[in-house]
Amino acid sequence: MKILVCISHVPDTTSKINFTENDSKFDSNGVQFVINPYDEFALTRAMWFKEKQGATVTVVTVGNATTEPTLRKALAIGADDAIRVNTEATDGFAVAKELAEVVKTNAYDLILAGKESIDYNGGMVPGMLAGLLDYSFVNACVGLEIEGDKATIQREIDGGKEILSANLPLVIAGQKGLVEEKDLKIPNMRGIMMARQKKLTVVESFVKETSTSSVSFEKPAAKSACKIVDNVDELISLLHNEAKVI
């Protein structure tokens, strides 16, 4: 089984975010980038299939050379090889089209991704990728088993969970539950050394123009000052008259 894991290169959630050029561009200076956490659940599940069923695992990202350390981390975790599509990932549909060309070129059986990236939170790429490939697609996946060319999938729905079956090839958008956080893999020294020798292929962009572009960014409003109240009657009055929550 050939597995492709789609990796997003995203800012660490503890990073301080700033913008430049009149708030039209994201300022990456001093920002630590990591594997998108939802994609990390997908990568860990792919590694389980590699260890238990002998699957081969390729990781792919759409981005410039600055994304390569993130791919190398995925290789250190245990992926067999990596592909970088050499263009900036600014538009979800363009990213899906880039990934679709990678899949068509290499004929993967299973494509795994996180349900969304934690920077733009678009949640659109896996579904659009499946549509472009005409593959079955399951979103919000919290359980996945493969037997031959048959998959059994568990996904979250409103008020519960749903069990589905599907044939490969298949696109899965995973989240926490696909594996547990305690099962996420941390690269060890041997993995880091081996990652340096693994193949990282750079391919040029297939998409000549994007559908959307960012006009401007705006930070959330700053939190208001904290008011300490030690009188119950005053607290009730403030909640009723000022906050208007009771």
Domains of the chain: 2-220 (3.40.50.620)
Residue 30's pLDDT is 86
Q: CA Rg, the chain, in Å? A: 21
Query: Is-contact 80 58, C-beta < 8 A?
Result: yes
12-21 burial: b if 16+ Cβ within 10 Å, else e: eeeeeeeeee
220 pLDDT exceeds 90?
no
**Which residue blocks in the chain are alpha helix, DSSP H?**
37-53, 68-77, 92-106, 125-133, 189-195, 232-237
Residue 187's pLDDT is 87
Residue 214's pLDDT is 82
Q: Residue 211 — very low, low, confident or very high, per pLDDT cuts 50/70/90?
A: confident
67 pLDDT exceeds 90?
yes
215 pLDDT exceeds 90?
no
Q: Residue 244 — very low, low, confident or very high, per pLDDT cuts 50/70/90?
A: confident
90 pLDDT exceeds 90?
no
Residue 167's pLDDT is 96
Q: What is the DSSP string of 151-219?
A: EEEEEEETTEEEEEEEESSEEEEE-TTSS-GGG-----HHHHHHHTTS-EEEEE-S-S--S-------P
144 pLDDT exceeds 90?
yes
Q: Which residue has the higher pLDDT, 49 or 19?
A: 49
Give me the percent of the chain exceeding a pLDDT of 70: 100
